[in-house]
Structure 1
Amino acid sequence: MSEKALILEQITKTYAGEASGPVEVLRGASLELARGEVVALVAPSGAGKSTLLHIAGLLDTCDGGRVVIGGTDMTGLGDRARTAARRRQVGFIYQFHHLLPEFTAAENIVLPQRANGVATATARARAADLLARVGLEHRGDHRPAQLSGGEQQRVAFCRAMANAPRILLADEPTGNLDPGTSDQVFGVLMDLVRDTGLSALIATHNLELAARMDRVLRLEAGRIATP
């Protein structure tokens, strides 16, 4: 049996509420992501998909259950170890690009590599290669404000891939784009993921985009179900 890139096992998460009391967001959510697999996570707003992605990517902790990345149980790690594991093994893409405005496109891709101890020359070469893969080799010296929305999100894809992570987690990665640009940019993302053999869990409201992935999972009432 091949090693799973990601296993979420019976994940629970409850947040302290206000007048209405605690809010149980995740109630035993479980899923597995195989190596090289691209899986869509479909859920209505407020269903807990962002919480699940944050737990999967070690940005948040669960109240119960296990998070296993590349065969290693990450559940009990301390903050420092979780940060180190996240830098090495997880790439994130959000609905908004969150690029640093004072840096160029290439520099935005170099920075996470430098934070991970990669030499500057190596980081720059990696950034140039990734920009070429998404058709932006001529835009590397442009700052985010000089790029279109679709270009900014493609740079964000490259930044997420900068440290060659084991898994990619994306939360509505094209949700801030118009339909035409969304379709084009999603195609670029899929090509990038397929070319690198990455495993990806992509949350989306767009059922047409979800249908282009290997599998579709639905988050309902805090648990994972197949549509």
Structure 2
Amino acid sequence: MNDPRPVLALDAITKTYNKGRPNEVRVLMDAALTLAPGQVVALVAPSGAGKSTLLHIAGLLDTPDSGTVLLDGQDMSRESDTARTVARRQKIGFVYQFHHLLPEFTALENVALPQLANGVTRAAANERAVDLLDRVGLGKRHDHRPAALSGGEQQRVAFCRALANAPALLLADEPTGNLDPATSDQVFDVLLGLVRDTGLSALIATHNLALAERMDRVLHMDGGRVT
């Protein structure tokens, strides 16, 4: 039986900033990776190695100078900005080191909003938001705004928001890096549980080697390449 089609495949990705200038910086050089359905992969690299740039390219937030970005088998490198925006909204979830929740909205509203933007009815969006928040232990915090939540609770809401539109791919950039070690472990348990339960693929950038070792594969970045 053939292997299933990768959810994400990056091939020969290059990216240079300030191209042609004296302060030119080559960040990515022939970087490549693949994520199979349901696979959770750690991306480990020191600061400045290009992992955030790689995640932005994988998440269709940036374009490479050369190379291909396949999302569910579709070459997004050749698609229009509109098509990339639609794919990003429907197929990719993002989690960052800081939660970036909208402060004027409740936890439930923060999780419902991406669904409303995707054309889901308010009733259905609220129902899914409740389900996701309950899964991460925030059943009694639906109506709390971010300022009334702890750091770990805020990040849990951010996880739920990233999964609100049932993406095929989750991209996380140091998702527990803003938390103390004990809270980081607890919050990562929640994230890993959500990912496993929903069966999506995840690429998670982290400095925490203990967390990285709990994932299916560990990739490292060196000299602009993925090893």
Equivalent in 124, 127, 152 of residue 154 of structure 2: 152
Residue in structure 1 matched with residue 109 of structure 2 by the alignment: 107
Residue in structure 2 matched with residue 217 of structure 1 by the alignment: 219
**Alignment deviations for residues 167-215 of structure 1 (CA, whole Å, 9 cap, x no partner):** 0000000000000000000000000000000100000000000000000
Does residue 135 in structure 1 map to residue 137 in structure 2?
Answer: yes
Once the two structures are TM-superposed, the CA of residue 20 in structure 1 deviates from its matched residue by: 3.8
Equivalent in 178, 195, 213 of residue 193 of structure 1: 195
Once the two structures are TM-superposed, the CA of residue 80 in structure 1 deviates from its matched residue by: 1.1
Once the two structures are TM-superposed, the CA of residue 52 in structure 1 deviates from its matched residue by: 0.3
Residue in structure 2 matched with residue 96 of structure 1 by the alignment: 98
**Alignment deviations for residues 85-135 of structure 1 (CA, whole Å, 9 cap, x no partner):** 100000000000000000000000011100111111000000000001101
Equivalent in 116, 131, 136 of residue 118 of structure 2: 116
Residue in structure 1 matched with residue 168 of structure 2 by the alignment: 166
SS of residue matched to 2:203: strand
**Alignment deviations for residues 53-77 of structure 1 (CA, whole Å, 9 cap, x no partner):** 0000000001100000111111111
- 2: CA distance, partners of 1:219 / 1:19: 25
SS of residue matched to 2:78: coil
Question: Counterpart of 1:123 in structure 2: which amino acid?
Answer: A
Question: Counterpart of 1:141 in structure 2: which amino acid?
Answer: D
SS of residue matched to 2:98: coil
**Alignment deviations for residues 124-175 of structure 1 (CA, whole Å, 9 cap, x no partner):** 0000000011010110100000000000000000000000001000000000
Residue in structure 1 matched with residue 53 of structure 2 by the alignment: 51
Contiguous gaps of at least 5 residues in structure 1: none
**Alignment deviations for residues 8-55 of structure 1 (CA, whole Å, 9 cap, x no partner):** 001000000797421110001000000000000000000010000000
Question: Counterpart of 2:134 in structure 1: which amino acid?
Answer: A
Question: Counterpart of 1:59 in structure 2: which amino acid?
Answer: L
- 1: CA distance, partners of 2:225 / 2:45: 11
Question: Counterpart of 1:107 in structure 2: which amino acid?
Answer: E
- 2: CA distance, partners of 1:18 / 1:207: 37
- In the superposition, the TM-score normalised over structure 2's length comes to 0.97
SS of residue matched to 2:53: helix
Residue in structure 2 matched with residue 12 of structure 1 by the alignment: 14
Greater Cα offset, 206-215 or 9-18? 9-18
Contiguous gaps of at least 5 residues in structure 2: none
Percent of aligned positions with the same letter in both sequences? 69
Equivalent in 123, 126, 129 of residue 128 of structure 2: 126
Equivalent in 16, 29, 32 of residue 30 of structure 1: 32
- 1: CA distance, partners of 2:220 / 2:133: 32
- In the superposition, the TM-score normalised over structure 1's length comes to 0.97
SS of residue matched to 1:50: helix
Moved over 2 A (4+): 17-21
